[in-house]
Every structure is written in C-alpha cells, then in structure tokens.
Amino acid sequence: MRRKLAGKTREEIRNMPKDNFAKVPVTMRDFEEAIKRVQPSVSTVDIERHENWYLEFGSA
C-alpha cells in the first residue's frame, strides 16, 4: 500500500481504482519491513505466565 500511495495527494488516492491495490504483489521484503515496525501484541511476561500455567496444568 505504501509503495502504491507514495507521493500521491489525498485526491489522487481517492480517485484511484480499488482494483489497483489487488495487483500489487506482497514480497518477502514487505514482511521483513513490517516485522521491524510492528510491536509484539503479547508481552514476554504474558508468555512466561502461559508457559508456567502449561507446565502446571497442561493443555486446555
């Protein structure tokens, strides 16, 4: 999306055909860049709690 929208005004973006976005391939580089920017949704403390619970009670 960012590559497709880079340098365009809001008006140009609004007028872009929606099917244009489906034609943009997602590459491994896109995933690598996303991993650098996105924060984990689960903290290490939560993971540790889950692991301790699993060791004590097993799977659900």
pLDDT of residue 60: 64
Sequence-distant (≥ 6) Cβ neighbours of residue 21 within 8 angstroms: 1, 4
pTM of the model as a whole: 0.44
CA dihedral of 36, 28, 2, 17, whole degrees rounded to 10: -150
pLDDT of residue 4: 81
Mean pLDDT by 10 residues, the chain (60 residues): 86 87 84 90 94 89
One-letter amino acid for residue 32 of the chain: E
pLDDT of residue 21: 74
Structural domain spans, the chain: 2-57
